[in-house]
Each structure stands twice: as C-alpha cells, then as structure tokens.
C-alpha cells in the first residue's frame, strides 16, 4: 500500500483514498491509521478515506477525521456510505435495518462537531454535551457513495459530492447521472464542481497484455462485476474509456487497481501518468 501511494504520487494522481470494512475474515488495514501512514508518501494534494457511518460512533468518527484534517498538508475528504452485510453490522453492535437513519444522524452530528458546536441527541445515537477538539482547519468535504435512486437523492440533498459505484455499465451510469441532476434541481442545490465515479482498472503495457487479463477475468470472475464495467487496456484505451465517462458528466474517476499481482498493480499505477497526459 505504501508503494502504491508512492507510485500514485509519482504518476500525478490528484487524490489518495482508502476504503472501510469491518469484522472481515481476510486482512484489512483500517482506514485511519493506514491513511495517516500513507500521507507520509503523499504531499499537498487531496487525501481522504471512506467511512461507513452507521458502523461508527459519530463522535469518534468526527474526532478521527478532524485529527487527520489537521495533520494533512492538503484537503481532507470524507467519502461515506451506508455499508452492507448483516454480519458486519451485528459485529459492530448495530443493525442494518436502521442504517439510513443512523447515516443521516451521524453526518448531522459530525458536521456540528466540526463546526465547534456542543451536541446533545436522543435519537439513534444518545449523546449529551458532546464536543471535539481540535476541529478541522477547513470544512470537510463530504462525498456520498450511492447507487439506489433514494440514496442518490440523499447524496444530492445532504452531500457535497455524489460518488457513483464501480459496477455501473454505461447505460446505468448515464441513468444515475440523470437521477442525480434531477435531485439537485428538486433540492435547489447548485451543480458541484466534482461528480465522481469509481472504476476498477488496469493500465497495460500493450493491447495484448490487456487482452490476456480480460481472458483471465472472464474465466475466473472479478468481485461479481460485469466485465464490461472494468477499465482494462493500454494507456490510449483507458484514456478513451475515461473520456466516455466525462461525456456523461462525471468529472473525476476514482481508480482501484484490479490486477492481482503486486508488481503489475504498481506498473499499472505508474502508467496512469500516460493516461493523464493523453487526457490533458
């Protein structure tokens, strides 16, 4: 992960993020200590982490994010979502069926705490005179990951940025963009500068290398994704696929490297420099 951070910085990527999972059986480095360590391989560019808010106590999450915002030299962004999986929710002492209510209350509490307010709440969370110190040196930008129409509406209503999912095919990515734009109008919100979509990618050295990986994925599968949602190709091909997402209204692509081999994943990240140059 540190090597990927260094490669991403060298390739000129504009932001660095880590995800969030809990109570899983395979090794998963937790987001707060991991992104803090990765910042040492980064610089003043944007940095952030995903927080599945219904699984976090809002005071703890607000404190952790405020501290990260204080120690980064750039802007800290909170990506957030509802989370899923009954087993994970039970392990964290909560219930999946209440996640939408918990999410909205958490975000409201955290934003009040970041503003230096003292918060009491008798809702999903029970808080009395909660406050945090330090507070963030600047506003925390909130990106809400959403795929269901009601969740996209929520992202427009209470978020700064909508983050579209990685498994969307073109037609659904276009439809969801329309849902988001309509929701912005309904809630009288201006169009944000950023509308992001996630993609799992591999930038190959050649078309032949890309085709070999596509065949491997076709035979083994990948995270249950439709292979057409994956971005695999040489730098020219990847740039074209990113440009197509731009034509739908997405301004940023949040990339996750899909190659299972460590060295190939690093090389793919390094080749993103070529993609950026083609698109610029």
89: helix, strand or coil: helix
Q: Measuring CA to CA, which residue among 83, 70, 84 is closest to residue 32?
A: 70
User: For residue 25, what is the domain's CATH number?
Assistant: 3.20.20.30
Q: What is the pLDDT of residue 213?
A: 96
Q: What is the pLDDT of residue 232?
A: 98
Q: Judge whether 31 lies within some domain.
A: yes
Asked whether the beta carbons of 109 and 59 are under 8 A apart, the reply is yes
Q: Judge whether 104 lies within some domain.
A: yes
Q: What is the pLDDT of residue 89?
A: 94
Q: What is the pLDDT of residue 119?
A: 98
Taking each helix axis as running N to C, give the angle between helix 2-11 and helix 31-38, from 0 to 180 degrees, rounded to the nearest 10.
50
CA 195/CA 207 separation, integer angstroms: 29
Q: Judge whether 55 lies within some domain.
A: yes
Q: Judge whether 12 lies within some domain.
A: yes
Q: Judge whether 191 lies within some domain.
A: no
Distances (CA, A) of 183 to 173, 188, 197, 208: 15, 8, 17, 43
Q: What is the pLDDT of residue 217?
A: 94
What DSSP string runs through 159-215?
-SEEEE-TT--HHHHHHHHHHHHHHHHHTT-PPPS--EEEEEEEE-SSHHHHHHHHH
Q: What is the pLDDT of residues 35-69, one digit of tens each?
A: 999 999 999 999 999 999 999 999 999 999 999 99
| 155 token code pair | 């992202």
Ranges of beta strands (E only) in the chain are 15-18, 46-52, 76-81, 119-122, 126-130, 141-145, 161-164, 196-203, 231-233, 252-257
Domain count, the chain: 1
71 burial class (0-12, 13-18, 19+ CB within 10 angstroms)? exposed
* pTM for the full predicted model: 0.95
Q: Determine the structural domain holding residue 48 and report its residue range.
A: 2-145
Q: Judge whether 208 lies within some domain.
A: no
Q: What is the pLDDT of residue 2?
A: 95
Q: What is the pLDDT of residue 246?
A: 98
Q: Judge whether 277 lies within some domain.
A: no
What whole-number percentage of the chain has pLDDT above 90?
99
Distance from the Cα of residue 183 to its chain's centroid: 21
CA 59/CA 48 separation, integer angstroms: 18
Backbone angles phi, psi at 103, to 5 degrees: -60, -50
CA 75/CA 142 separation, integer angstroms: 12
Handedness of CA 253, 255, 259, 263 (dihedral sign): positive
Q: Which residues of the chain have pLDDT under 70?
A: none
The span from the first CA to the last CA of the chain, in angstroms, equals: 27
| 42 token code pair | 């980064």
174 burial class (0-12, 13-18, 19+ CB within 10 angstroms)? middle
Q: Judge whether 43 lies within some domain.
A: yes
């Amino acid at each position: 992960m540190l090597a990927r951070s260094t490669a991403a910085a060298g390739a000129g990527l504009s932001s660095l993020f880590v995800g969030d999972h809990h109570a899983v059986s395979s090794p998963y480095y937790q987001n707060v200590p991991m992104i803090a360590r990765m910042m040492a391989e980064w610089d003043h560019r944007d940095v952030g982490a995903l927080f599945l808010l219904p699984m976090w106590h809002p005071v703890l999450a607000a404190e952790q994010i405020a501290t990260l915002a204080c120690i980064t030299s750039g802007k800290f962004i909170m990506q957030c979502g509802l989370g899923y999986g009954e087993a994970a929710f039970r392990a964290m002492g909560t219930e999946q069926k209440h996640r939408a209510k918990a999410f909205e209350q958490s975000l409201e509490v955290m934003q009040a705490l970041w503003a230096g307010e003292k918060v009491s709440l008798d809702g999903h969370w029970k808080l009395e005179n909660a406050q945090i110190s330090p507070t963030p040196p600047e506003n925390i930008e909130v990106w809400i990951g959403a795929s269901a129409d009601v969740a996209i509406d929520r992202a427009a209503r209470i978020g700064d940025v909508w983050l579209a999912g990685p498994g969307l095919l073109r037609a659904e990515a276009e439809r969801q963009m329309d849902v988001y734009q309509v929701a912005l109008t309904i809630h009288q919100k201006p169009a944000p500068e950023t509308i992001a979509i996630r993609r799992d990618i591999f930038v190959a050295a050649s078309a032949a290398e890309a085709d070999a990986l596509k065949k491997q994925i076709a035979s083994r599968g990948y995270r249950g994704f439709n292979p057409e949602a994956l971005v695999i190709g040489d730098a020219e091909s990847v740039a074209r696929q990113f440009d197509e997402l731009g034509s739908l209204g997405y301004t940023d692509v949040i990339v996750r490297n899909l190659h299972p081999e460590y060295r190939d994943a690093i090389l793919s990240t390094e080749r993103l420099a070529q993609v950026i140059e083609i698109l610029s």
